[in-house]
Amino acid sequence: MELLSDPQAWIAFLTLTALELVLGIDNIIFISILVDKLPEARRELARRLGLALAMFMRIGLLFLLAWISGLIEPLFTVFRQEISGRFCGRAPGRSTSCSRARRERPRPPPAPPSTG
């Protein structure tokens, strides 16, 4: 019951709900574009199958994320730092974020030529 009164849990839930809505709409548009290339007789089956697979894959990925977040036991130690499954699961996202931040960092303007 503590979870229901925690504002951070509600914010996380609302954020996840918004992301799922956006991704769901994106799936519908993408699948509709692909299905329109099929013959008329196969379109309805392909649309239903595509949406069902997209839904089950998204649910599976959410369960996988929940499972990875629960891996808190240390797997090994590096330089006296314990490394858990949660850390290993989040490492690709962290490295992607760091890489993008480094690439997108603003560059200082070039120095004006000296008149000497």
Distance in angstroms (rounded) separating the CA atoms of residues 28 and 20:
12
pTM: 0.61
Residues 6 or more apart whose CB falls under 8 angstroms from that of 85 comprise: 68, 71, 72, 73, 75
What pLDDT digit, counting tens, does each position of 52-110 carry?
998 899 889 889 888 888 888 998 999 998 989 888 888 888 898 888 888 888 888 88
34 within 8 A of 50, measured Cβ to Cβ? yes
81-105 burial: b if 16+ Cβ within 10 Å, else e: eeebbbbeeeeeeeeeeeeeeeeee
Tokens encoding 97: 């974020």
